[in-house]
Amino acid sequence: MHSRILIAGAAALFAVSAQAHPHQGRDARKSDPATERIAPSHEHKGGFKAAPNTAVLAPFDIVHAKIRTEGNVAIFHMAVSGRAGVTRPTSTGRFEGSKVFSYVWPTSIDAYEVGFERGAGILALAVTSHPDFDDTPLFDETRDGNRANDGGEWHMHWVVLGPDEACGPGGLKVKDIPEGARPRLPRTWPGVPILIDSPGWQPQFTGDTVEVRVPFDDITPVKSATFDGVTAGLRVNASAHAPLLCVADVFKIASGNLSLPGKVDQ
C-alpha cells in the first residue's frame, strides 16, 4: 500500500516530464541507428503493449513491457520502436551534474525482497548507462582489468524510488541514505549513499529488445506483483549532495500514467 501511495504521488511528475526527450541535447540523433525505427523482432505476447510515439527517440519508445518467470528466475523484458541500447549519455567529464539513461521496470514488489527495508519505497529494476562514473565495484563489465571504468556499459541495478520536491515540483529520486543512518542493504550495495544495489545480473540487448534474468530465493512475491515500463534520464546533483540522483527527464511511460498495469506471467 505504501508503494501505491508513492506511485500515485509520482505519476504527476512522470506525466509532465515525459514531454522531455533525450534528442533535445547532443546525447542523441548523432547517428542513424539512434533514430532508425525497425520492424518488431517478435510477436508481443503477454505483458502489455504501448502505442509507438514518433515524438520519442526510437531506442526509448517503449512498445511492450513484460515480466515472466521460469522457476525461481524472473525475466524482465522491454521492446522499443528502434534499436535498444544504441543511445547513451554524452560524457561530461565530471561526476557532478552527469547524466544517466535508463530502461526501468517500476514494480509493486516490496524492497525487502531484494535486501532493503520493508516499505522503503518504489522498487524498480533499472538498466542504466552513465559514462562519468562507475557504480558496479564488484564487476569488470569490459574485462579490461579495471573495475572502475565501466559505467558507460549498460548494466542492471535495483533502485528504491521516492518523492523529493528538491528534484522539482512532484519530483522523484533514488532515495538517499541520511548521514549516520544504517538501513538494511543488499550484500552487493555499491557503497554510495542511496538505496541502490549492483548485483551484477547483465542485461541482454537484441535488436529492439532488452532483457534481464534475475534469480530470487523466493519467486512467490514476484509472481503476485504488478509493474510498468519507463525509459528515463536521471541526473546527478550538481553539488553531489542529497538528493544525489533525481529523475530529470522521462522519455516514455508504457502505461501512460505509471499505473503498474502489467501482471507477472500474464
Q: Return the half-sphere exposure (C-beta side, CA atoms, 13 A cut-off) of residue 82.
A: 21
Per-residue confidence of the chain (266 residues) as pLDDT tens digits?
A: 444 444 544 554 454 444 445 544 444 444 567 788 988 888 888 999 999 999 999 999 999 999 999 999 999 999 999 999 999 988 988 888 999 999 999 999 999 999 999 999 999 999 999 887 767 766 557 566 865 556 667 999 999 999 999 998 888 999 999 999 999 999 999 999 999 999 999 999 999 999 999 999 999 999 999 999 999 999 999 887 889 999 999 999 999 999 999 999 99
Q: What DSSP designation does 187 have?
A: T
CB 255 within 8 Å of CB 221: no
What are the Cα distances from residue 40, in Å, to 36, 45, 182?
A: 12, 12, 46
pTM of the model: 0.87
Q: What DSSP designation does 10 have?
A: H
Tell me the pLDDT tens digit for each residue of 21-49. Answer: 554 444 444 456 778 898 888 888 899 99
* Residue entry with cell 520502436: 81
Core vs surface per residue 138-166: b (16+ CB within 10 A) or e: ebbbeeeeeeeebbbbbbbbbbbbbbbee
CB 153 within 8 Å of CB 129: yes
Tell me the pLDDT tens digit for each residue of 246-255. Answer: 999 999 999 9
